[in-house]
Structure formats: C-alpha cells, structure tokens
Amino acid sequence: MNIINSRQNIALVGAGIMSATLGVLLKKLLPNSKIDIYERLDRVGAESSDAWNNAGTGHSAFCELNYTPMTDDGQVEISKALSISEQFEISKLFWAYLKKNKYLNPDIGFINDIDHMSFVWGDANITFLKKRFEALTNYAMFEDMKYSENFDEILDWIPLMNGRVRSDKIAATKMSIGTDVNFGAITRGMIDWLSNQEGVRLHLAHHIHEIEQESGGWWKIDMKHLKTGEEKSAYADFVFIGAGGGSIPLLEKTDIPEARGYGGFPVSGQWLRCNNPEVIRQHEAKVYGKAAVGSPPMSVPHLDTRIINGERCLLFGPYAGFSTKFLKEGSFMDLFLSIEMHNVWPMLRAGIKNIDLTKYLIDQVRQSFEDKFEFLKSYYPEARIEDWQLEIAGQRVQIIKKDKDEGGVLKFGTEIVSSQDGSLAALLGASPGASTAVSIMLNLLQKCFPTNMESKEWQETIRHMIPCYGQSLIKNGKLCKQMRAYSTEVLNLQDRS
C-alpha cells in the first residue's frame, strides 16, 4: 500500500480556522483516522480567527483595491482578484455543506450579507476605480457590481459621508452580495463537531516545544501542559502546523530543509470602535479605500459594519503598528528567537528593501488617538471623537523568504511549506487567509496526499461537499451563478443584486 494512503495518525497544531478546516476535510476523507488537535491557549479560535482580531470581511475582492494593482502601462491587473473571489465562493459552498448537514450549530450565526464598497477621491484614483470596474465586470462573479461618481447616489450608499464638500471628485463601487463573517464562530463550530467524532481529541493549554522526525518517518511531538506542568510526547505520521504567527518558530523546530530561509515580519493592528448606537445604525456596509504607499495589506482602511455574536458594531481602521510578538498572546521575544543562521541574511535583505514599510509602521506607532481620529474623518467627516474608542486588533506575521536574486523578499498572502515526503506541512502568512481557508487546505491535501486526491473515492467525497470542485468559476460564468445562488440560499444570505 502507498505510504500516503496509510497515514491515519494526524496531529493538527493550532486550533484556528485552518486546522479546523483541514480536520473536517480529513475526517470526511479518512473516516478511520485518529486526529489530535493541540492548542497553546485554553480556548479555540482565540488568536487570528477570533472575530475581534480580524476584519471579518468575506474577502471576495469586491472592495479590496490592493488585489487589483495598476500596471506600469496604466492597466488594472485583475488575476489575483479573480482567484480570490473564486476561492471565497468555494469557502461559502463548504460552509453551506456544514450548515445543511448540521455540522455547525444552527442557532449560532456566522455569516451575514453586507454591501461591499470601494470609495476613492481624486482624479487618479477615480480613473483607477473606473478601469477596475470595467475590467472586473467582464466576469460573471463581478457583473452585478455598480459604479458611480454621482455625489447623491454615493451619499445614499454611504450616509456617514454626509458633510463632505459636494464639489469633491469622488467615486465608488458597490456589490450587494458581500458578506461579514465570524471566522471564530465557524472555527469553534467545526472543532465542536470534530471533538464529537470517534478518534478525535482536543488538547487545550498545550505548549509544543519540539517537533522531530524519527528514523521510521513518524513525527515525535514534545509538549508541556501549561496548567498542570506535565511534560509528554505524542507521535503522528502526518503533522499540520496551522498556528498563525506561531507557525514559523514551530516550523524551524522540524529541521526540514524546505523550511530553510524563511523568516517572519510581525505587524500589529488597532481599530477605532464606535460606541454610539445611533451612528452604528446609520451605516451598513464595508467601505474600503486605498492603502497608503508602503503599507501592508492588512492596513487597507475601511469603515466597517460588523455583526459579532448577534451585535451590530462599527469599526474603522485598522491602524498598523509594530510588535516583536508573533501572536497577540505571544512573547516580545518571538521575533528575536526566530532568527537563525539560515534566515538572518534573507531577513536583513528584506528589511533593507522595505525601508518605506518600516517608516510607515514607525509613523503609525507614533500616531496619537487624535491623529487616528483625523484619518477617520476623511471617510466620516462629521464624526465626533467622543463616539469612538481604541481597540487592539490581531497580530499578523508576513513571510520573509530566501530569494536567489535579491537575497530575501517580503511576501504578502499565504504559503504552504511541506516536507519532501509530504508527512508535514505548515501554513505561513496572513490575508486573505481565513476567507480562502478551504482552497488553501485543498491545495495542501494535493501536496501531501497526491495519490489519494487522484482517487475516485476522494474526488467524489470532495464534490459532495463542494459541488464545483475541479471546475473553474472564473471561466464558467453560468456555473458561478448557480453555485452562488445555492450557497446564498443555504446560508440564508439576501441576494439584493
């Protein structure tokens, strides 16, 4: 028997959206498998997956302008936006499967429909937004997008913009099929289901301090129970490291050659949160603007309606910052302890080439509450400072990796790093992570379980969960509309297009 087919002892490190998604997929594909989930905290989905630690945007590229950069010849590059939009549709189909089959608690809401808008001002930005609109609406997944430069129409879309000078040149796009997602609720729902399956065990408050492959190919995982102090070891023939910012130091402990040259650049964040119910009621959209030059993707400004645990909230931000922690509840020594001989040069080279980012983060850290509030007024001119308070957002770690030509590069997005034998994989990076978790984990299965993924049994199981699996929603507009209509109905979203 192929060794890949025989892997039945699985360790998932980190109890976030990635491990939860992979755990459900593997339990459906390998029903006899034994799965152990290890989490350093005493609760599930409490770091990047938690609702207060991320934007909650169902990243479908409807409003995120950083996914459609302007090229040197003045055109708008939309390939990344198309890919992300397709991946989010796949995530919705998977969540619809979970909801329809009662794998998630039907009494706990985790996704709501909310308009996704892009808003810009100034001639150059308006030209960019119009070109973006014209390019994207050639595809079925974007054909319902609306574009306007009419002040009154945009004011109707974004009432909080009232007070802006009417002579300002502004433009906006709107997609009514956008969503707000509570990734923490989805994570906890999936892990609750997993915990009730035979052969699955959840281990909270377990700190892993060593991951080592033994001569027989099995992985030995050494850990400490943080409440009892007990030291113990576990063994697995497949390990997934999905610990958010904590994945890089854990990956380094494995000593796999594929991990050499990787480092991490941590970026922290803050929100302004509205505490005035009257203001919160006036706004019902996720309004994204253009990121500042040199800023990381997680810092794209947005005026953001959120539905968290049934409560409607209004946030603005995020404001980027710098911390040497790799996790919100991590250690200030995380960055320093991650530096080793194999990644010190790539990290230095990436740092030198990203001086603008460093300056941007320093500027953000130096900003006072009043400075942050002034930036809010460019989106909400009549905002009152007493209606807003500062909240700490989640911690992200961007990828730094070795590069043959440049020494080291800073990468945004996510990347799977796996051992040559496919027995261990780790997910590094950040946005749009959670929104595209299902596609990311399917790609991971393709890398680590290639023989299984080609089998008729696995193909049929995956298509049962994701009906469009193996087909392009970008090229097949009719199929895209069918799949979107299906997930909209099952997830109880209101198609207002």
Top-confidence residue, 105 or 281: 281
Calpha distance 285→57 (Å, rounded)? 10
Tokens matching residue 303 = 């005026």
72-76, 86-90, 362-366, 369-373: range with highest mean pLDDT: 86-90
In 10 A of CB 231, how many CB atoms?
A: 10
pLDDT digits (tens, 9 = 90+) for 120-146: 999 999 999 999 999 999 999 999 999
Cα–Cα distance, 420 to 447 (Å, whole number): 10
Q: How far is CA 10 from CA 25, 190, 209, 253, 482, in A?
A: 12, 16, 18, 18, 35
Which position has the higher pLDDT, 280 or 107? 280
What pLDDT band is residue 406 in, cutting at 50, 70 and 90?
confident
**494 falls in which pLDDT band (50, 70, 90)?**
confident
pLDDT for 353: 77
The candidate with the shortest Cα–Cα distance to 361, out of 296, 302, 301, is: 296
Q: What is the pLDDT of residue 298?
A: 54
Question: What confidence category does residue 222 fall into, taking pLDDT thresholds of 50, 70 and 90?
Answer: very high
pLDDT reading at 30 higher than 60: yes
pTM, 2 dp: 0.91
pLDDT tens for 283-298 read 999 999 987 655 555 5
DSSP letter assigned to residue 433: G
Average pLDDT over residues 215-237: 95
**Whole-angstrom Cα distance, residue 84 to residue 88?**
6
Question: What local confidence, expressed as pLDDT, does residue 2 receive?
Answer: 38
Task: Kindly state the average pLDDT of the residues 90-115.
Answer: 93
Which residues, other chains included, contact 24 with Cβ-Cβ below 8 Å and sequence gap of 6+?
Answer: 98, 103, 190, 193, 194
List, in order, residues 6 or more apart from 441 with CB less than 8 Å away: 18, 21, 22, 25
Which pLDDT value is given to residue 337?
A: 72
Predicted pLDDT at 294: 54
Contact 396, 431 (CB under 8 A): yes
Q: For residue 59, how many other CB atoms are within 10 A of its CB?
A: 25
pLDDT of 107 higher than 50: yes
Contact by Cβ (8 Å): 361, 322: yes
- Predicted confidence at residue 4, as pLDDT, reads 41
Mean pLDDT of 151-175: 93
User: Does position 1 have pLDDT exceeding 80, yes or no?
Assistant: no
Mean pLDDT of the region 478-492: 96
Tokens representing residue 137 in the block: 């609406």
